[in-house]
Structure 1
């Protein structure tokens, strides 16, 4: 599968896209794993924004609530970028088996940090970290790509990936797998690819804006530090957990 890139005056390398995804994810997790648990102790949740007397107008914690809301909205940009970069990695890696194994290993490594940051326990099975979403999505497009293109039964692979994403309760679940698949299957059909991704992320409407930096991708890797990008996810979750238990009395 080939890809032609048109370079404009403004363009982003793969490395730049990764940093955008990482920073927006960090902002999202600050809201989700620090601010929201704190607000929840006072009976304030995101749903409060839709009540007549919500914290935006009546609560002394309204400013903190608004900060959380902004962080979560910004954080919606991260996953589509990660999904896009996963597909780019799949299409251009020289060692697919190693690529798959790395994603799978970090899915396992990240689960305890994710559970600590999100639930304050070492093991919690109701919600799995984003690496599991990427791992299932990567397996899906790998097997799909290897099946004869004229064999209609290959669509069972996508259905199985959607099933397991829901069964395992991975982050973004069915939407996450569909986004990865769309970036893969419609890779060279940019308008259709972007339109379909915009459609599935409609409920997370700010995620649609991630298609802007993705569209500006110039096909170049940029300066990469693979270890840093892999390690950042579990590492930042552990840091957020320790900040949470050190400065707040949630547990």
Structure 2
């Protein structure tokens, strides 16, 4: 009894709370990359956001009453966001051809749903591989590594050593193969936030509940305007 009470006391975050945290960390990451690229702590904090978004997408797939509507909403906002994201991505990475995270999440959600249509572990594996290839061909943000992460978040089990083995192993493998910075390792710590999830959705009574999708392109646009204004002051 005491163990269950202690556990429930620790798990105080709703899915809405975790969404707020994910968005806040994402904004910190984008502000850091655009204005303070030399401040490593901002990028480190930002590395926690993407795993949280993949977990939220997996939760969305699990509990949505209309999977087509859910994926369609992600794709529509992805299309709306893309021109702004392309400009933002070019300023930071000198690359503007990849598709933004909303396309990634939509592809990941479709991957999860397709794996649930089959029983065979081999077929599940082949489905994930197929969507990893699609992610590379479409050049979505995060590419194949993001698809793996979204799928792992759909079968997350923090009490399973096997799950941890695959989760940490996957992170280390892609950091090595892509020669990513060591700061990518800090993304593993995002699981600590997920561990505080209390199983509740939350946020229904909050006025900004439906504003998360437009908030993504909106914050990118605001940051670009600030960057443009600062550059105009310098010149």
Same fold per superposition (TM over 0.5): yes
Q: Distance in 2 between matches of 1:175 and 1:209?
A: 17
Asked if 1 retains the 8 angstrom alpha-carbon contact of 2:49 and 2:190, the reply is yes
Of 114, 127, 141, which residue of structure 2 is paired with 1:171? 141
RMSD (Å) for aligned C-alpha atoms: 2.2
How many residue pairs match? The answer is 211
Displacement of 1:190 after TM fit? 4.1
Partner of 2:169: 199
Q: SS state of the match for residue 10, structure 2?
A: coil
**Would the alpha carbon gap of residues 194 and 228 (structure 1) be closer, same or farther in structure 2, given more than 3 Å must change?**
farther
Asked if 2 retains the 8 angstrom alpha-carbon contact of 1:17 and 1:81, the reply is yes
1:204-219 pair list within 5 angstroms: 204-219=184-199
Partner of 2:15: 14
Partner of 2:178: none
Q: Distance in 1 between matches of 2:34 and 2:88?
A: 6
Asked which structure has the greater CA Rg, the reply is 1
Q: Distance in 2 between matches of 1:161 and 1:7?
A: 37
- 1:98 matches 2:72: no
Q: Distance in 2 between matches of 1:248 and 1:35?
A: 14
Displacement of 1:169 after TM fit? 2.2
Stretch moving more, 103-112 or 166-175: 166-175
Unaligned 5+ residue runs, structure 2? 1-6, 176-183
Displacement of 1:137 after TM fit? 0.5
**Would the alpha carbon gap of residues 220 and 151 (structure 1) be closer, same or farther in structure 2, given more than 3 Å must change?**
closer
Displacement of 1:223 after TM fit? 1.2
**Would the alpha carbon gap of residues 194 and 233 (structure 1) be closer, same or farther in structure 2, given more than 3 Å must change?**
farther
Q: SS state of the match for residue 22, structure 1?
A: helix
Unaligned 5+ residue runs, structure 1? 1-5, 37-64
